[in-house]
């Protein structure tokens, strides 16, 4: 294979990826909307669930973990370290953020349209 055909293949693959992601985004939105309508119906009729075509559809209450925004999380950590008597808690937090992170050299192909 030549470089020319490889570049054409990369372009086609990138186009397919974009199309697939857009399609997936639309499907996820449609799913959320359908789930919302079913939930509203069940709540409106005060039903615990419905049975349809051999499927049982129930509303299940579930706890969901929500992450704190990065600034709030950092500030909470600084406050905790200060309360624990750590000197220079901001420096400690910065060092903690960099633990386990390192840089490696890699090659990445960038395709820019010349049109």
Average pLDDT over residues 88-109: 87
Cα(69)–Cα(58) distance, rounded to whole angstroms? Answer: 32
Nearest Cα residue to 89 out of 99, 77, 73? 77
**pLDDT at res. 14:** 93
What is the model's pTM?
0.62
Q: What percent of the chain has pLDDT over 70?
A: 98
pLDDT of residue 115: 66
**pLDDT tens-digit readout, 21-43:** 999 999 999 999 999 999 999 99
Average pLDDT over residues 86-98: 89
Residue 61 has what pLDDT? 86
Tokens of 73: 């999380």
pLDDT of 92 above 80: yes
Structure-block tokens of residue 54: 């051999």
Residue 114 above 80 pLDDT?
A: no
Q: How confident is the model at residue 110 (pLDDT cuts 50, 70, 90)?
A: confident
The contacts of residue 82 (CB under 8 Å, 6+ apart) are 89
């Amino acid at each position: 294979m030549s470089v020319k055909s490889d570049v054409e293949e990369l372009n086609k693959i990138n186009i397919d990826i974009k199309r697939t992601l857009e399609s997936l985004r639309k499907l996820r939105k449609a799913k959320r909307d359908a789930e919302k309508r079913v939930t509203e119906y069940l709540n409106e009729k005060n039903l615990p669930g419905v049975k349809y075509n051999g499927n049982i559809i129930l509303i299940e209450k579930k706890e969901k973990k929500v992450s704190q925004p990065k600034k709030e999380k950092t500030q909470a950590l600084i406050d905790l370290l200060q309360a624990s008597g750590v000197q220079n808690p901001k420096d400690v937090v910065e060092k903690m953020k960099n633990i386990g992170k390192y840089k490696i050299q890699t090659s990445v192909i960038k395709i820019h349209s010349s049109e």
